[in-house]
Amino acid sequence: MTDELLAVRMDFDELVLLLRKIFISHGTSAFVADILAANCAGCERDGALSHGIFRMPGYVASLKTGWVDGRADAEVSLVSPSFIRIDACNGFAQPALAAAAGAIDEAIERTGVAVVAIRNSHHFSALWPDVEPFARKGLVAISFVNGLANVVPHGGHTAVFGTNPIAFATPVADAEPLVVDQATSVMANGEVRLHALDNQPLPPGTGVDSSGAATTDPHAVLAGGALNTFGGYKGSSIALMVELLAGALTGGQLSFENDFGHCVGAQTPKAGQLLIVIDPDRGGSTDFSQRAALLCKHLVEAGQDRLPGARRYKNRHTTQTSGIPIAKNALSELLQMATGGAASSS
């Protein structure tokens, strides 16, 4: 029987409600539950499956062990007209960012740019939900996040970097925003876990085992091994930049400084996030989104088969009409978690 036959279909709001219930029953505030549930359901809806419902046991484990504070109230300070500093107070990054929404809008209105430095934050999701809404308001946004040390520097043998993603979003005239969202490792860690669940080998060059030897076995990468950065030494240097921007400039932790200590089973990395939002109209171009559209047109004419973000938008469109497919066993697990029950590890 195919997975499709074993799946139920839920609409977005229904899934948000279920996930919200899980967060609340594991002790988060309603504010945090609203934001994380919409974020996680959005990933599932868009087919960003490495950060959809598959992540719920990890969220629950981190909440249960007390590693993350699901009721934290982020402290937002304006340190200059365009520089916003956020102490997430050991809470999740997305509610911390939401708490600064008004300050970001005001900084952009006044100065054309907002630099947002978030520290003491747990980011366990995709980055596109953080940047896409800015592009929908006509703004350009770029964000960097560090995490847990599970990536070796180029030529190295010990994990130092997180998978350190970068996301970029820009408005495009008469089209959906263009959103690029990628790890600086060859593959996101969540993808490795999905390969491990399916017992699927990784493409050659993805990672190393605990002895530092190249491997295509996802279990070996997860059991003390590590991922490689993308693009050889150049990708490694980009991961280095993300590490410093997200982990150090913000006043947060570097990826290798994460220590779960007594919180056995916790999964969310305690790290940092840097977000820069720019009003493109202040940059000298009077028709920035038209220029972006022109570039996209040339990319397609040059043979690029699809633009970044296009797969997600296609999935979003499809699931809006046909519902979000959820495997029956995954649904049972979600229902169990919604009653405060233990989750199996993702």
82 vs 104: CA distance, rounded Å: 8
* 183 is an interface residue for ligand NDP by CB under 6 A: yes
Which of residues 50 and 229 has its CB atom nearest to ligand NDP in the complex?
Answer: 50
Nearer to ligand NDP, 249 or 331 (CB): 249
Binding mask 120-149 for ligand NDP (x = CB under 6 A): ---xxxxxx----------------x-x--
Considering the complex, what minimum distance in angstroms separates the CB of residue 23 from ligand NDP?
17
Using CA atoms, how far apart are residues 178 and 172, in angstroms rounded to an integer?
7
Separation of alpha carbons 75 and 91, rounded Å: 11
| Residues 291 to 310 in contact with ligand NDP, rule: CB under 6 A | 306-310
The burial class, CB within 10 Å (0-12 / 13-18 / 19+), for 25 is middle
Q: CB of 207 within 8 A of CB of 215?
A: yes
Binding mask 78-117 for ligand NDP (x = CB under 6 A): ----------------------------------------
Residue of 191, 255, 333, 346 with catalytic role: 191
Asked if 311 is part of the footprint of ligand NDP (rule: CB under 6 A), the reply reads: yes
Please indicate whether residue 50 is annotated as part of the active site: yes
Catalytic site residue 51?
yes
Window 154-173: residues binding ligand NDP (CB under 6 A): 163, 165, 167
Return the closest-CA partner of residue 277 out of 30, 97, 58.
97
Looking up tokens 């219930």, which residue turns up?
21
Pick the closer one to ligand NDP by CB: 163 or 215: 163
The DSSP secondary-structure symbol of 203 reads P
**Catalytic option among 26, 44, 50, 289:** 50
SS (H, E, C) 295-313: HHHHHHHCCCCCCCCHHHH
Ramachandran category for residue 33: left, alpha or beta (phi over 0 → left; psi -120 to 50 → alpha): alpha
Q: Report how far residue 275's alpha carbon sits from residue 292's, in angstroms, rounded to the nearest whole number.
A: 21
Selected binder of ligand NDP within 28, 50, 120, 228 (CB under 6 A)? 50
- Give me the residue whose beta carbon is nearest to ligand NDP: 126
Q: Pick the closer one to ligand NDP by CB: 21 or 312.
A: 312
Are 164 and 239 contacting, i.e. CB atoms less than 8 angstroms apart? yes
Q: Hey, CA dihedral for 199, 187, 19, 132, is it positive or negative?
A: negative
**Annotated catalytic residue: which of 26, 44, 51, 82?**
51
Whose CA is closest to 140, among 108, 168, 112, 110? 168
Listed ranges 44-52, 97-105, 207-215, 238-246: which one lies at the site for ligand NDP (CB under 6 A): 44-52
Contact yes or no for 75/100 (Cβ under 8 A): no
Parallel/antiparallel/unpaired status of strands 226-228 and 214-215: unpaired
Q: How far is the CB of 228 from ligand NDP (least distance, A)?
A: 13
- Determine the interface stretch with ligand NDP among 95-103, 178-186, 255-263, 322-330 (rule: CB under 6 A): 178-186
Would you give the distance in Å from CA 10 to the centre of its chain? 23
List 160, 172, 188, 343, residue binding ligand NDP (CB under 6 A):
188
| Closer residue to ligand NDP, CB minimum distance, 180 or 222 | 180
Residue recorded with tokens 């993350």: 68
In whole angstroms, the minimum distance from the beta carbon of 274 to ligand NDP comes to 13
Residues that bind ligand NDP (CB under 6 A): 48, 50-51, 123-128, 145, 147, 163, 165, 167, 180-183, 187-188, 191, 306-312
Residues with catalytic annotation? 50-51, 191
